[in-house]
Amino acid sequence: MISLKKIKEMLASFKIANKEEMFKRILTFGTVYLVFFLIFYRFFVGTITLELVLVWILVASVSFFRVDWWNYTQISNLTKINKQLNYVEQLTTALRSSTKTEDVLKLVMKNLTEELKYDRVIIYSMETDEKKKELLKPITAFGIDFNMIKDYFFKLDKALDIVPRVAIERKGYIIKNAQDDYRCSQEFVNMLGLKEYVVIPLVTKGVTVGVLLADNFINKRAIEEIDLVPLTSFSNQVAMTIENAKLYEKVEYLAIIDGLTNVYNHRYFMENLKAEIERMSRYEKEGMLSVIMIDVDHFKHYNDTNGHMSGDAVLIEVGQILKNLTRKVDMVARYGGEEFVIMLPATQKEGAKILAERIRIAIEDYPFEFKARQPNGKLTISLGVSTYPEDGVTEEALIDTADRGLYMSKTSGRNKVSVAGPK
């Protein structure tokens, strides 16, 4: 791959700067060459005719023109690539400052279309399916309806299409006639109306993290081998930045999610509960927030009888049931140990009690492993409910009231929902 430094060296080695200089060279060298030829011909061959002079002028001009025109074309191409690579260098700084994948992808699409002049772009990310097999999944597109391609994945089999082949071989390809190319899935080609397009691997630290596909469906600009230089340099930076953004998001995710149950953790829940109360207080909206505290009954008995791995499995399943029964706006968190908590925005007490009862029944009916070994032959939960502002106007007060309701459920037989009310 030609580097930016190499291109600058190649540009410096050429002397022609423009067309005018090229024709001056042709005229100067052609005239000198003609004079020497005429002198040689006159003394060693014979009579010089006008036709001979004209033919020689034509031959010399064409020869010099071909040489210098080749030089001029090379300079034009190198100048174009030099400009694009300079731009890629500038873009690299901007990409490195982005920490969210969504922001990186927006920046990539903007610059591929505006600066590198591609009409349509698709970026695929390397993912794994439920069977832990790798596949290429589209994550963003420009100039193409994303809904058309969002479910069109490529398995990592280079026999299927050029897209997975590029990911496997880590080598870019330009497809000149997609409809007649055996390497191209005709279903995919026909779906997008592909004719000529380029596919580049996104590789960082020797690992393929995705694939970039681009074409000029509208402007019909031909894609040449020399276009691979800036595009490959660009794709390397994109790969590294996307991977870094994913790692950053993963760290952020781990900071707010309970590692076992995959629901929010205690700290993040309390921060959001406080923020929600402050928001309602600011806009004077009363009675629009409820909290449910949940505790797994006889959990120590379950752990001691069946082992901690089985106990962990129960907590994971409880967390999943809670997420399935709540809305997207609700927040489910692990409060600690076998305790869970739910925040219900825009929910008054009666609605919270109805949901709590649904949760209680769902847990009681769920086929947990070894549930028959529990007291009464089933695994159950106890719940307590509180509502803002009648049960408290701070996050601590709401949690305390819900916790007292939970204690009432525990001390009155378990497997029930209770409301304690304010102190």
Instruction: Kindly state whether residue 84 falls inside one of the protein's structural domains.
Output: no
CB distance 112 to 121 below 8 Å: yes
Instruction: Give the range of the structural domain holding residue 352, as residue numbers without chain letter.
Output: 266-419
405: in domain: yes
Residue 363 lies in a domain: yes
The pLDDT, as a whole number, for residue 17 is 45
Could you give the 3-state DSSP secondary structure of residue 319?
A: helix
How many domains, in total, are found in the chain? 3
pLDDT tens, per residue, the chain with 423 residues: 444 454 445 445 444 444 555 555 555 555 655 555 555 555 555 554 555 555 555 555 555 444 444 444 554 555 555 555 555 555 556 556 555 667 777 777 777 777 778 899 999 999 887 777 889 999 888 899 999 999 999 998 767 799 999 999 999 999 999 999 999 999 999 999 999 999 999 998 888 999 999 999 999 989 988 888 778 877 877 788 778 777 877 888 889 999 999 999 999 999 999 999 988 887 655 558 999 999 999 999 999 999 999 999 999 999 999 999 999 999 999 999 999 999 999 999 999 999 999 999 999 999 999 999 999 999 999 999 999 999 999 999 999 999 999 999 999 999 999 999 777
Task: Please state whether beta strands 207-215 and 197-204 pair in parallel, antiparallel, or not at all (unpaired).
Answer: antiparallel
Length of the chain: 423
Tell me the whole-structure pTM to 2 decimals.
0.61
Tokens 């903007």, residue? Answer: 110
Are residues 275 and 413 located together in one domain of the fold? Answer: yes
**Same domain as 289, residue 172:** no
Contact of 108 with 116, CB cutoff 8 Å:
no
Phi, psi of 318 (to 5 degrees): -60, -45
Please check whether residue 113 is in contact with residue 228, taking contact to mean a CB–CB distance below 8 angstroms: no
Tell me the CATH number at 273. Answer: 3.30.70.270
Cα-Cα-Cα-Cα torsion 234, 237, 240, 245, nearest 10 degrees, comes to -100
Q: Is residue 92 part of a domain?
A: no
Region at 287 (left for phi over 0; alpha for psi -120 to 50; beta for the rest): left
| 163 and 228 in a common domain | yes
157 within 8 A of 175, measured Cβ to Cβ: no
DSSP secondary structure letter of residue 162: H
Q: Does residue 239 sit in the same domain as residue 119?
A: yes
Do residues 300 and 383 share a domain?
yes
Helices 228-256 and 50-96: crossing angle in degrees, nearest 10, is 10
H or E, element range at 313: helix 308-325
Instruction: Report d(CA 163, CA 124) in Å as an integer.
Output: 9
408 in a structural domain: yes
Instruction: Yes or no: say if 376 and 264 are a contact pair by the CB < 8 Å rule.
Output: no
Q: From CA 42, how far away is CA 341, in angstroms rounded?
A: 107
pLDDT of residue 5: 53
Same domain, 355 and 398: yes
Side-chain half-sphere of 195: how many Cα atoms within 13 Å?
9
Q: 110 and 203 share a domain?
A: yes
Residue 109, pLDDT score = 76
| DSSP labels, 261-278 | TSSB-HHHHHHHHHHHHH
Q: 118 and 38 in one domain?
A: no
Task: Give the helix ranges, DSSP H, for 171-307.
Answer: 186-192, 228-256, 266-282, 299-306
Whether the Cβ atoms of residue 268 and residue 307 lie closer than 8 Å to each other: no
Q: How far apart are CA 308 and CA 300, in angstroms?
A: 10
* Assigned domain for 25 exists: yes
Of 324, 320, 392, nearest to 355 by C-alpha is 324
- Rounded to whole angstroms, the Cα distance separating 254 from 248 reads 10
Same domain flag for 392 and 276: yes
Do the beta carbons of residue 143 and residue 120 sit within 8 Å? yes
At 105, which helix (H) or strand (E)?
Answer: helix 101-114
**C-alpha pair distances (Å), 87 with each of 115, 385, 413:** 8, 59, 71
The upper half-sphere exposure of residue 236, i.e. CA atoms within 13 Å in the direction of its Cβ, equals 14
Q: Are residues 273 and 414 in the same domain?
A: yes
Spatial neighbors of 316 by CB under 8 A, at least 6 apart, are: 260, 261, 262
H-helix or E-strand spanning residue 141: strand 134-142
Partnered with residue 135 across adjacent β-strands are 127, 155
Residue 261 lies in a domain: no
Residue 365 within any structural domain of the chain: yes
Say if residue 110 is in the same domain as residue 220.
Answer: yes
Q: What tokens were used for 38?
A: 């005429």
Residues 75 and 177 grouped into a single domain: no
CATH number of the domain that residue 134 is part of: 3.30.450.40
Q: Quick one: DSSP state of residue 215?
A: E
In this prediction, residue 228 carries a pLDDT of 84
